[in-house]
Amino acid sequence: AQTVTQSQPEMSVQEAETVTLSCTYDTSESDYYLFWYKQPPSRQMILVIRQEAYKQQNATENRFSVNFQKAAKSFSLKISDSQLGDAAMYFCASAANDMRFGAGTRLTVKP
């Protein structure tokens, strides 16, 4: 079974600044995907970014980018130019035959 660990229960960032959310995972599969999901107060789960494990290049989606370190089984999310609308719970997930989530990091954005 896969495990996903998010060691930061809460993070805070000033508007327009950059913040990095950490995630480590463990899987015995060689072919897998990694994701970051955002859950705003509405509780809707929104996909932020995905990374295929076989790709060395780090994924980027506008202000969101990841630092994927396969050997270290690390998958962090960097949010640049933080906006008030980025405030939410962020979940890291690993998918290989099933999908498991970390405990989440609550991000607060200060104006």
Partner 1 sequence: DSGVTQTPKHLITATGQRVTLRCSPRSGDLSVYWYQQSLDQGLQFLIQYYNGEERAKGNILERFSAQQFPDLHSELNLSSLELGDSALYFCASSPDGNTEAFFGQGTRLTVV
The reply to whether 66 sits near partner 1 by the rule CB under 8 A is no
Give 107's strand partners: 11, 88
The reply to whether 104 sits near partner 1 by the rule CB under 8 A is yes
Residue 12 structure tokens: 């805070």
The reply to whether 100 sits near partner 1 by the rule CB under 8 A is yes
Between CA 19 and CA 70, with CA 2 as vertex, the angle to 5 degrees is 55
The Cα–Cα gap between 94 and 13 comes to: 25
Residue 16 CB, nearest approach to partner 1 (Å): 28
Which of 73, 75, 91, 107 contacts partner 1 by CB under 8 A?
91
Where do we find the tokens 């495990």?
A: 3
The reply to whether 35 sits near partner 1 by the rule CB under 8 A is yes
Of 17-25, 63-71, 74-82, 102-110, which part binds partner 1 (CB under 8 A)? 102-110
The Cα–Cα gap between 82 and 87 comes to: 9
Residues near partner 1 (CB under 8 A) are 31-33, 35, 43-45, 47, 50, 91, 93, 95-104
